[in-house]
């Protein structure tokens, strides 16, 4: 029986489960789902790659609509390649360790605007002279303010002509080159997301931060040497070869970013899966990984479709970067994801599958639910990590992380372990730039969010969580949901207890540690002592009150911390019989009475490991004083075998 199977059946059969909705495949809730995104910022661009100088020359037009309720007199434009321009950028200044990309580039990267013209009917306004690249006292050039010559009224549309030059850095984080391999992300001047209140959600490129943008249509023509292979967002609508160059046009609507890659070392494999044209680009010698990534998509496309709504795009491109450019791996862009892992990684170490399913999940939690990744990184990375854990468990069972050499480690269990660290240091729900270290960011945003959601799913019923996230993903498709949107959905679909725990876990460093502090029983007897009855005093000695073959006792369960999950408590008697009671977990402690024909041997709270967030599972049980413990004979046996084996050497 797989771990997921266990969790599901317990949630359905156990005393905690309320009305049981049907199984996972029927989870599709009856919620209206937008067919298209609003067209706010659309880009028609041409890009020409010089693979020896590692430069991209770009030009084109941006049409932008004021989708807010207020007139706007300036634009904010992200020039994120400037994060790699010098060590004074916000990106390079961040004193961050423990997350991806810690190196200083040996080749700096930059984006230089050459032309920025507002086309206003017959009039053309050159915006370049008035652009403000830097704030006073700050050399960062990733977040530019562009004053406009006139206000743009709500609902009005403007067109900008742009031309620029990119110098790609050698890859230090996500984007850049390695030899002739080029991964081109965050490469064009991009207008920041305009919020409904007329303010721009603009921010410099931070080491830990990701992105946020309005939806639109991207029509991008890419020009590379003709021995290169291109992978890019959206389907190819035009291909031609001329003058030793390959020119590919990619057009895709309902997206909010565009990335592409070009390399002369790619091997290409294509397959139509669940109605989607999937292309895998990988280095030579990676055939097995390519097959594993396709296997993953054969599982993931229908699985995510059933849970979070059908994948709406016609194509999906998986890019497996060469091992020397692994920093380009493990990243998501609309309809294009990058994977990774070295060629020798065997099956059973499911990291190829894990990274593929994680990045694909971002097509939902980032692509279709375009939250502000800079302000609320947990909304994409945390929810997506939960979705990854759920999918991997549904696919691979208990060993969904590692099933190798006798180890059976679940993806979500590994996540839960990481989630125990940093939980008291910082809150999950904060901006990417607010985290003190990359390790805290990773543990809290990814792991603790996932473990919190998994705990809610196991405590209140997985079917309810399936439904809640199904509703959330459909209702907010092609929108920009906030933490409240998520919490409100959980409240409506699972209940106030789950929502309160979620809010406390996200915003208030919520934690919980269940423990058993007392376990005891004694032979049963009535009350002894002096009793005045019918005018006479009667003294009853304890031995006269004894009830043969009965034992009474109790177990004291304590809940430490601020989260309140319902839990089960299992009582084990010396005759081996077991019984369970449920506690709503609201009070700080709970005394479970015991009465049985055998003495109480031991007790355990949360015997099925539903509270993954429990700080210290090692204190969830106790053996009654005077009772023999179950000990650790398995560890001794295994330890002795392996000690003798090591002592004897591998061979005679």
User: Does residue 389 interact with another protein by CB under 8 A?
Assistant: no
Interface with another protein in residues 178-217 (CB under 8 A): 179
> What is the closest distance, in whole angstroms, from the C-beta atom of residue 519 to another protein in the complex?
9
> What is the closest distance, in whole angstroms, from the C-beta atom of residue 224 to Zn ion in the complex?
28
> What is the closest distance, in whole angstroms, from the C-beta atom of residue 346 to another protein in the complex?
13
128: helix, strand or coil: helix
Token pair, residue 105, equals 């580039």
Q: Which residue in 33, 34, 323, 528 binds another protein (CB under 8 A)?
A: 323
Q: Which is nearer to Zn ion, 116 or 316 (CB)?
A: 316
Interface with Zn ion in residues 239-258 (CB under 5 A): none
> What is the closest distance, in whole angstroms, from the C-beta atom of residue 279 to another protein in the complex?
19
User: Does residue 648 interact with another protein by CB under 8 A?
Assistant: yes
Strands 600-605 and 621-623: antiparallel
User: Does residue 408 interact with another protein by CB under 8 A?
Assistant: yes
Instruction: For residue 567, give the nearest of 510, 624, 612, 622 by alpha carbon.
Output: 612
Segment interacting with another protein, rule: CB under 8 A, options 200-208, 378-386, 428-436, 623-631: 623-631
Interface with another protein in residues 246-265 (CB under 8 A): 265
Binding mask 343-382 for Zn ion (x = CB under 5 A): --------------------------------------x-
Question: How many CB atoms within 10 Å of residue 641?
Answer: 10
CB 624 within 8 A of CB 601: yes
Distance CA 340, CA 344 (A): 12
Instruction: For residue 282, give the nearest of 226, 362, 344, 339 by alpha carbon.
Output: 339
Instruction: For residue 54, give the nearest of 228, 170, 164 by alpha carbon.
Output: 170
Q: Which is nearer to Zn ion, 142 or 384 (CB)?
A: 384
Which of Zn ion, another protein, none does residue 496 bind (CB under 5 to 8 Å by kind)? none
User: Does residue 455 interact with another protein by CB under 8 A?
Assistant: no
Distance CA 37, CA 441 (A): 30
- Residue 390, CA distances (Å) to 20, 95, 333, 454 in order: 19, 33, 22, 8
CB 150 within 8 A of CB 120: yes
Distance CA 167, CA 82 (A): 9
| DSSP annotation string for 52-69 | TTTEEEEEEEEEEE--SS
Q: Which residue in 30, 344, 533, 539 binds another protein (CB under 8 A)?
A: 344
Which of another protein, Zn ion, none does residue 606 bind (CB under 5 to 8 Å by kind)? none
Chain position carrying tokens 């099956």 = 347
Q: Which residue in 3, 64, 260, 364 binds another protein (CB under 8 A)?
A: 3
Q: Which is nearer to another protein, 373 or 614 (CB)?
A: 614
Query: What is the per-residue burial (b if ≥16 Cβ within 10 Å, else e) of 446-483?
Result: bbbbbbbbbbbbbbbbbbbbbbbbbbbbbbbbbbbbeb
Which of Zn ion, another protein, none does residue 344 bind (CB under 5 to 8 Å by kind)? another protein
Distance CA 362, CA 332 (A): 6
Q: Which residue in 499, 502, 603, 605 binds another protein (CB under 8 A)?
A: 603
Which of another protein, Zn ion, none does residue 392 bind (CB under 5 to 8 Å by kind)? none
CB 184 within 8 A of CB 56: yes
Q: Which is nearer to Zn ion, 327 or 381 (CB)?
A: 381
Q: Which is nearer to another protein, 423 or 470 (CB)?
A: 423
- Dihedral sign computed on CA atoms, order 313, 279, 262, 141: positive
> What is the closest distance, in whole angstroms, from the C-beta atom of residue 381 to Zn ion in the complex?
5
User: Does residue 612 interact with another protein by CB under 8 A?
Assistant: yes
Q: What's the start-to-end Cα distance of the chain, in Å? A: 39
Q: Which is nearer to another protein, 40 or 599 (CB)?
A: 599
User: Does residue 346 interact with another protein by CB under 8 A?
Assistant: no
Distance CA 603, CA 620 (A): 8
Which of another protein, Zn ion, none does residue 612 bind (CB under 5 to 8 Å by kind)? another protein
Q: Which residue in 173, 219, 413, 426 binds another protein (CB under 8 A)?
A: 413
CA angle 344, 350, 352 (to 5 degrees): 60
Distance CA 469, CA 370 (A): 15
Instruction: For residue 386, give the nearest of 308, 291, 317, 292 by alpha carbon.
Output: 308
Binding mask 549-588 for another protein (x = CB under 8 A): ---------------------x-x-----x----------
Instruction: For residue 449, give the nearest of 474, 480, 481, 415 by alpha carbon.
Output: 415
For another protein, how many residues bind (rule: CB under 8 A)? 70
As beta bridge partners, residue 515 has 558
Q: Which is nearer to another protein, 95 or 631 (CB)?
A: 631
User: Does residue 644 interact with another protein by CB under 8 A?
Assistant: yes
Instruction: For residue 206, give the nearest of 425, 435, 47 by alpha carbon.
Output: 435
Binding mask 487-526 for another protein (x = CB under 8 A): ----------------------------------------
Q: Which is nearer to another protein, 59 or 513 (CB)?
A: 513
> What is the closest distance, in whole angstroms, from the C-beta atom of residue 420 to another protein in the complex?
7
Q: Which residue is nearest to Zn ion (CB)?
A: 381
Binding mask 377-406 for Zn ion (x = CB under 5 A): ----x-------------------------
> What is the closest distance, in whole angstroms, from the C-beta atom of residue 279 to Zn ion in the complex?
21
Q: Which is nearer to another protein, 195 or 417 (CB)?
A: 417
User: Does residue 54 interact with another protein by CB under 8 A?
Assistant: no
User: Does residue 353 interact with another protein by CB under 8 A?
Assistant: no
Question: How many CB atoms within 10 Å of residue 540?
Answer: 14
Q: How far is CA 141 from the centre of its chain?
A: 29
Q: Which residue in 71, 156, 436, 643 binds another protein (CB under 8 A)?
A: 643
> What is the closest distance, in whole angstroms, from the C-beta atom of residue 421 to another protein in the complex?
8
Distance CA 480, CA 461 (A): 27
> What is the closest distance, in whole angstroms, from the C-beta atom of residue 502 to another protein in the complex?
21
Distance CA 204, CA 576 (A): 62
Q: Tell me phi and psi for residue 233, to 5 degrees.
A: -60, 140
Residue numbers at the binding site for another protein (CB under 8 A): 2-3, 179, 265, 283-286, 322-324, 342-344, 397-399, 405-410, 412-414, 416-417, 420-421, 570, 572, 578, 601-604, 607, 609, 612, 616-618, 621-623, 628-648, 650-652
Residue numbers at the binding site for Zn ion (CB under 5 A): 381
């Amino acid at each position: 029986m797989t771990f997921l199977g266990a969790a599901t059946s317990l949630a359905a059969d156990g005393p905690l489960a309320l009305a049981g909705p049907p199984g996972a495949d029927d989870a599709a809730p009856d919620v209206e789902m937008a067919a298209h995104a609003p067209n706010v910022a659309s880009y028609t661009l041409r890009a020409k790659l010089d693979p020896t100088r590692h430069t991209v020359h770009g030009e084109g037009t941006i049409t932008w609509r004021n989708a807010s309720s207020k007139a706007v007199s300036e634009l904010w434009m992200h020039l994120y390649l400037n994060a790699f321009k010098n060590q004074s950028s916000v990106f390079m200044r961040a004193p961050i360790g423990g997350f991806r990309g810690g190196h200083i580039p040996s080749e700096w990267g930059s984006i230089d605007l050459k032309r920025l013209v507002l086309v206003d009917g017959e009039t053309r306004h050159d915006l370049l002279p008035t652009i403000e690249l830097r704030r006073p006292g700050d050399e960062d050039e990733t977040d530019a303010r562009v004053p406009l010559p006139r206000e743009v009224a709500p609902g009005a549309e403007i067109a900008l002509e742009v031309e620029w030059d990119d110098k790609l850095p050698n890859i230090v984080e996500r984007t850049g080159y390695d030899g002739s391999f080029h991964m081109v992300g965050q490469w064009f001047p991009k207008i920041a997301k305009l919020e409904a209140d007329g303010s721009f959600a603009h921010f410099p490129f931070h080491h830990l931060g990701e992105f946020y943008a309005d939806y639109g249509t991207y029509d991008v023509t890419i020009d590379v040497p003709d021995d290169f292979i291109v992978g890019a967002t959206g389907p190819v609508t035009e291909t031609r070869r001329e003058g030793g160059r390959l020119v590919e046009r990619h057009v895709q609507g309902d997206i909010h970013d565009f990335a592409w890659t070009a390399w002369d070392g790619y091997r290409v494999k294509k397959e139509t899966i669940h109605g989607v044209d999937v292309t895998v680009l990988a280095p030579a010698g990676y055939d097995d990984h390519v097959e594993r990534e396709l296997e993953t998509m054969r599982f993931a496309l229908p699985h995510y479709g059933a849970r979070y709504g059908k994948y709406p795009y016609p194509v999906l491109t998986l890019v497996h970067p060469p091992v020397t450019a692994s920093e380009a791996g493990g990243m998501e862009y609309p309809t294009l994801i990058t994977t990774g892992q070295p060629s020798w990684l065997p099956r059973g170490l499911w990291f190829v599958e894990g990274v593929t399913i994680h990045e694909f999940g971002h097509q939902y939690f980032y692509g279709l639910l375009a939250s502000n990744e800079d302000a609320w990184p947990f909304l994409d990375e945390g929810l997506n990590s939960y979705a990854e854990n759920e999918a991997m468990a549904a696919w691979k069972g208990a060993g969904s992380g590692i099933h190798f050499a006798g180890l059976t480690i679940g993806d979500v269990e590994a996540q839960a372990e990481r989630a125990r660290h940093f939980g008291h240091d910082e809150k999950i729900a904060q901006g990417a730039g607010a985290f003190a270290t990359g390790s805290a960011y990773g543990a809290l945003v990814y792991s603790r969010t996932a473990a919190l959601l998994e705990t809610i799913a196991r405590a209140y019923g997985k079917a309810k969580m399936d439904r809640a996230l199904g509703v959330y993903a459909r209702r907010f498709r092609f929108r920009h949901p906030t933490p409240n949107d998520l919490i409100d959905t959980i409240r409506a679909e699972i209940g106030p207890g789950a929502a309160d725990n979620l809010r406390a876990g996200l915003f208030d460093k919520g934690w919980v540690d269940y423990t058993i502090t007392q376990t005891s029983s004694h032979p049963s007897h009535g009350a002894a002592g002096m009793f005045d009855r019918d005018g006479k005093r009667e003294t009853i000695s304890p031995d006269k009150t004894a009830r043969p073959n009965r034992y009474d006792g109790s177990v004291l369960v304590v809940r430490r911390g601020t989260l309140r999950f319902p839990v089960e408590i299992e009582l084990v008697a010396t005759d081996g019989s077991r019984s369970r009671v449920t506690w709503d977990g609201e009070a700080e402690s709970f005394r479970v009475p015991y009465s049985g024909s055998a003495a109480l041997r031991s007790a355990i709270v949360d015997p099925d490991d539903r509270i993954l967030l429990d700080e210290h599972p090692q204190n969830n049980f106790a053996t009654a004083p005077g009772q023999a413990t179950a000990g650790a004979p398995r560890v001794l046996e295994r330890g002795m075998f392996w000690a003798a084996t090591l002592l004897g050497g591998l061979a005679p």
